[in-house]
Structure 1
């Protein structure tokens, strides 16, 4: 290397190569984006409601307002509601914990979100509730940042 321009280019190339090898992006995720599209809001609400039912199933008993007024409208009635909550709880929990783990490993680490930070807890909490929609929102945010960086480079 004979000039500073060559040294700079070599340094940029080394940075790019090492980031690719470590699967670390130059783009940083610095904010949380709540569900905004109708589909994401619907899925978040539906999953949140299911988690609430799973957690409170033991208090939904004969004589409570919800049992007497809402569950008769549930397909299969109160008995099927309790059966569904009991059967679906473990698989739902396992799937959402897996999704949150994969979010941490494939997105949050890659985009510089420090494990245990407030931002990390927001994204992980969102993944635990809604799952896949969290990945879609992060990918959309990253794509937007990449387009802005590309425009700035030209």
Structure 2
């Protein structure tokens, strides 16, 4: 911002010099902060963005449910990633599944279906997570964005549970500051 008057604000960026007019004009400069906050709220709403910004990542070990779900999912990704894991000669079979050949056979049978279905479901959840992060002004140039998205791809719905909890907490903090 290069200048502010009772009638407008002037900006300069990248060679452009736009002017934003106050409608109605400010009665005094004391009114400027309140009006700018109001304009910011209107702009966020028009852009479909939230005034709650996400700036941090809550890891899966933050709560027991997330940790259990993350662990089960990552083990499922690893085990069902290739059919050979359920055959003699694989580390998984030779160290554990040789004791349960019927279960190994069952896993081998469902592997071609389970892995792609799980990948599709988790890919869909990632698109929802990306949309939610963008709405809360967390962009992909930060490690936190990648952590949320990566965690979501591995574990799915429990990452949303943690993110929604964080958004609720920030909303409560913001509301308590107003009062």
Q: Which category describes the TM-score, using the shorter chain as reference length?
A: 0.7 to 0.9
Q: After superposing the two structures, state which structure 1 stretch, 38-47 or 27-36, moved more.
A: 27-36
Q: How far off is 1:133 after superposition?
A: 1.0
- The alignment covers a number of residue pairs equal to 153
TM-score (norm: length of structure 2): 0.76
C-alpha separation between the residues in 2 aligned to 1:40 and 1:142? Answer: 17
Q: Which has the larger radius of gyration?
A: 2
Which residue in the other structure is 1:122 paired with? 147
Post-superposition Cα deviations, 1:35-71, rounded to whole Å, max 9, x if no partner, equal 2222111111111111001224324421445324532
Q: How far off is 1:26 after superposition?
A: 2.4
Greater per-residue helix proportion: 1
Which residue in the other structure is 2:22 paired with? none
Q: How far off is 1:152 after superposition?
A: 2.0
TM-aligned CA distance change 1:48 to 1:99, over 3 Å: same
Q: Which runs of 5+ in 1 are unaligned?
A: none
Q: After superposing the two structures, state which structure 1 stretch, 141-150 or 92-101, moved more.
A: 141-150
- Which one of the candidate residues 94, 97, 120 is aligned to 2:123? 97
Q: 1:52-71 residue pairs with structure 2 within 5 A?
A: 52-64=78-90, 66-68=92-94, 70-71=96-97
C-alpha separation between the residues in 2 aligned to 1:75 and 1:99? Answer: 34
TM-score (norm: length of structure 1): 0.87
Name the structure, 1 or 2, with higher relative contact order (CA <8 Å, separation 6+): 1
C-alpha separation between the residues in 2 aligned to 1:57 and 1:80? Answer: 11
C-alpha separation between the residues in 2 aligned to 1:74 and 1:13? Answer: 65
Answer whether contact 2:73 2:155 (CA < 8 A) is retained: yes
C-alpha separation between the residues in 1 aligned to 2:114 and 2:94? Answer: 22
